[in-house]
Chains A and B, each alone.
Chain A
Amino acid sequence: MATTLKDLRPVYVAGIGFHRYQFLSDTPYVTLGLAAVRAALDDAGVAWPAVDSAYVAKALLPMAPGRAMLRHLGDHGLPIVHVENASASGSAAFRHACMEVAAGLADIALVVGVDKPMPVGRAESLARIGSLADDAIAPFTHFALLADAYAARTGASVEDIALVAVKNHRNGSKNPFAQHQKERTLDEILGGKKIAGGFTSLQCTPVGEGAAAVIIASEEGLRRRGVGLDRAVRVASSAGRSQHLYDDATRYDAMLTQETTQIALAQAQLAPGELDVVELHDAFTVEEVEYVEAMGLCPDGQAVPMLKEGAFDIGGRCAVSPSGGLISMGHPIGPTGVGQIGEITRQLRGEAGPRQHPGARSGLAHMVGVGAVCYVHVLQKP
């Protein structure tokens, strides 16, 4: 049996920082990224020269944006690696930074996600395997098909599934870093622009830009810099998987989420019911109902009734997407997985202000990415 993160020396999230997720603007990516990194360093109480290693997550920006941004923090020379893993780029960067610190190869590491919307190709299309209608099936249409199948399987209605957007826009309205910061009624959401199937625009993640950064560290690394563990959050486990060949090939994200979450929870020695906050890949409303079931936060087919009784609200049984999630906070791709770690850290520190989930002690971050790949991290208050 291979060693897990839990078997190595403890790794802590010591600092978090953001640049607001927003619609495409003239702001250079360097400005976005530096804002997040400087905020994370300040929050950790660590100076730039103390950082041993840097991970830059991006999916859309061109080759090697890292040093062109980080050089403005001062002369350094640290190793910089870029991580591209579709929507899960930030989560993958976080996992590998944690491994480096846990293994003792670095004491303090920076993980920064930064991106701006740009046209990109999909490698899959270069395999030259034809398709009947892939050009007709945008991501929102893929998920609209899953929503239709979910409705047929569970009896949920279009209105039921849209309740995810009501909750997540409400959470996002309290997040100063969210792209959408406006509370929405169910009627407003359902009355929006029709996209595909039951989806309207406010049930789909907005395209945007932004940045998120976290500083991770070992206890020795922090103590040597005169920083204690009082605001640090422990990375209790890390799991990364890619999809298998499933009987229902269309439900790969849910099947993969189930497997990866089980591994991460087992490593952290937690049951799904012990999680207080969860940030998951809710790019489209149906994903949240599928994933809370796949993760074991509720029994199969029970996501809608539990959503209706407020189980996934801030202050409910488990706050799901307290940041507003991808639907409201946004999904600038490279930053998204890093931003989830930032939100969970804020919640576990008890510093989330108006969107604080009371008594949060354990949190889980989940991303899936085209491929499909999946990452799950569990964070705990020490």
Chain B
Amino acid sequence: MSDPDLLKPTLYRRAGSAARPEPPALLGGACACGHVFFPLQSYGCERCGGTDLQPRALTGAGRLLASARVHLHAGKGREAPFTVGSIRLEDGPIIRTLIEGGETRLHPGAAMVAVLAPVTDPQGSARLDLRFMAEA
């Protein structure tokens, strides 16, 4: 069922969502109380504590809240510089993600879309990972 080409198939999928057919979609969740969250988890709702949590595909569209070019990074498997951003998804949740094309200054408020970008996994295989970029 999960797509072997995706680096983190529990977090996103190739197919879009009902609200936005363009790929990819983010695999979030929704509670009976109306709280929408990302990523999906089954421990309990952060708003009401309920455990009736259903999967909900979130669209890969949102607005940039902030971005930062990272010049120093200690973790292995990721070379600085790279750009990260905070994005408010149009479905509600705020996510922190890597930004493609972050060499040029991005402005808070910019419309952003999700893309699947080629990466190499720790074993050296070609995979696809989720990134956001400014909407063309």
Contacts and interface: CB of A to CB of B under 8 A. Distances in A.
A245 interface: yes
Interface string B97-134: 11000000001110000000000000000000010000
A133 B97 contact: yes
A141 B85 contact: no
B41 A196 contact: no
Contact of A137 (B10, B12, B72, B84): B84
A194 B81 CA distance: 10
A297 B46 CA distance: 31
Interface in A106-165: 127, 129-138, 140-142, 144-149, 152
B94 interface: yes
A64 B75 CA distance: 29
B14 interface: no
Contacts of B97: 132-133
Given A148-B66, A149-B86, A136 B39 contact: no
B130 A130 contact: no
A250 interface: yes
A261 to B, nearest CB: 24
A149 B108 contact: yes
A248 interface: yes
Interface residues of A, number: 30
- Interface SS, B side: loop
Contacts of B93: 249
Given A131-B39, A145-B96, A250-B86, A136 B68 contact: no
Contacts of A132: 8, 11-12, 95-98, 130
Contact of B73 (A138, A245, A250): A138
B71 A196 contact: yes
Contacts, number: 97
A195 interface: yes
A315 interface: no
A45 interface: no
A193 interface: yes
Contacts of B35: 245
A195 B10 CA distance: 31
Interface in B16-50: 35, 39, 41, 43, 46-47
A135 B39 contact: no
A132 B84 CA distance: 11
Contact of A145 (B11, B47, B67, B74): B67
A145 B66 CA distance: 5
15 contacts: A129-B39, A130-B10, A130-B11, A132-B8, A132-B95, A135-B78, A137-B96, A145-B65, A145-B66, A145-B96, A148-B108, A149-B86, A152-B66, A152-B108, A196-B68
Interface of B: 8, 10-12, 35, 39, 41, 43, 46-47, 65-75, 77-78, 82, 84-86, 93-98, 107-109, 130
